[in-house]
Amino acid sequence: MTQGVLDVASVAWDAEKHVLTGRSVVVGGDPYELRITAPPVGGKTWSARSAEAFGAGATQALPLKLRQAGPLVRVTIDSPTGGEVRWQVRFARTAAPRGGEPGVTTLQAKALSPTVVELRWSGRGACGYRVSRAGGPPAATTRPAYVDEDLRPDTAYVYRVSALAWSGKPSPPAEVRVKTPAPPPRPPGPDVHLSDLTPLKAACEWGGAPKKDRSISGRPLRIGGRTYAKGMGVHANAVLAYALKPHFKRFVALVGLDDAKSDDPRGSVAFEVYVDRRRLAQWTVTKAGVVRPFNVAIPPGNKRIRLVVTDAGDGIACDHADWVDAGFVQK
């Protein structure tokens, strides 16, 4: 389904040749992904051995990626033009994998910030792992690691991780407890505001150039219902770079998603502070209305500070981001 439109035009299974074929309508330049479930039958599993895709009337195969984790098969097709694509996936029957029962051991949790926890573990999962915590939706991963970025500061959490067998059956869960730290106090206001300085570099992936004392949409800077007079409005992915003066002792700022897109849940960004080439601080913000503080000591002798906003790995949709009350403390 693509925005309510059924994009798979046809699908057929050849039981003798073990080939799944179909036709899909795709958007040019937008990677298109087929997701196929191939559960085990009669003690044997299905292994996706190869895949091909062709544009309408074309004889040259389109670029694609074939991946499988247990019974879950993913085929990503890159078509430069829109329209109908013919595809096929060839399977083979194989014996069920051996190597012992799936399971999770040495589960560890580390709070990276007041809102982010990193989990790491050892174990064996034929088709990945299931991660769950009270108050949050379950997540799936094929790697023995997971980062949860949707947490509350100063809160205790219990995580459970299970390994999934080829059949999808979870192992008994491993459990770990962790508490996020309290957020740091609100920083002092800057002696020198960013918006009063001329940047060495100022760029955004969307919305034009960063805006001084305005959001990227040209409106007043507003986070969580509060309006700020001074700051910089950007849109991920974005960078602001400034020359450092010897009397700049600390960089301070409040950051968050601008209220202009608070009605859209897709907004999520990561704010990063680099001094010369070294990253000194980072905040990930995944919800509107959340304000996070920066209060970063600037090591002496450095020449440049870079303020970076990335899309947090999920695309740039609605990533209106603000650096407010941002600048330098001289004492």
Task: Give the domain CATH number at 120.
Answer: 2.60.40.10
Domain count, the chain: 3
Same domain, 244 and 297: yes
Partnered with residue 117 across adjacent β-strands are 111, 148
- Tell me which of 70, 95, 120 is where a domain ends: 95
Q: What is the pLDDT of residue 41?
A: 79
CB proximity list for 103: less than 8 A, separation 6 or greater: 123, 124, 163, 171, 172, 174
53/71 Cα distance (integer angstroms): 21
Task: Say which amino acid occupies 269.
Answer: V
Do 47 and 152 have their domain in common? no
Residues 325, 199 share a domain: yes
Q: Is residue 73 part of a domain?
A: yes
Is 3 within a domain?
Answer: no
Residues of the chain with pLDDT under 70: 1-5, 96-100, 126
Is 129 found in the same domain as 47? no
Look at the block and give the residue holding tokens 């450095």.
Answer: 302
89 neighbors 36 (Cβ within 8 angstroms): yes
Count other Cβ atoms within 10 Å, centred on residue 254. 22
Give the CATH number of the domain where residue 33 resides: 2.60.40
Both 246 and 299 in a single domain?
yes
Q: Is residue 197 in some structural domain?
A: yes
Q: What is the pLDDT of residue 126?
A: 67
Query: Burial, 263: exposed, middle or buried (Cβ in 10 Å; 0-12, 13-18, 19+)?
Result: exposed
Same domain, 248 and 307: yes
Q: What residues make up the domain containing 271?
A: 192-329
Residue 200: what pLDDT? 97
Q: Does a structural domain hold residue 212?
A: yes
Pair (318, 202) in one structural domain: yes
Residue 1 located in a structural domain? no
Question: 109 and 90 in one domain?
Answer: no
My answer on whether 208 and 290 are in the same domain is: yes
| 3-class secondary-structure state, position 52 | strand
> The pTM is what?
0.56
Instruction: Please give the DSSP secondary-structure letter assigned to residue 20.
Output: E
Give the pair of three-digit tokens for residue 304. Answer: 């440049």
The verdict on residue 261 lying in a domain is yes
pLDDT on residue 59: 80
Last residue of a domain, one of 130, 146, 179: 179
- Asked whether residue 154 falls in the same domain as residue 271, the answer is no
- The 10s digit of each residue's pLDDT in 63-120 is 999 998 778 899 999 999 989 999 999 999 887 666 567 899 999 999 987 888 999 9
Same-domain status, 171 and 78 = no
Choosing from 95, 115, 141, the residue where a domain stops is 95
* Residue 185 covered by a domain: no
Residue partners of 205: CB distance under 8 A and separation at least 6: 235, 236, 237, 238, 316
Position 144 scores a pLDDT of 93
In a domain, residue 187? The reply is: no
Q: What is the CATH number of the domain that holds 228?
A: 2.60.120.1060
125 and 198 share one domain: no
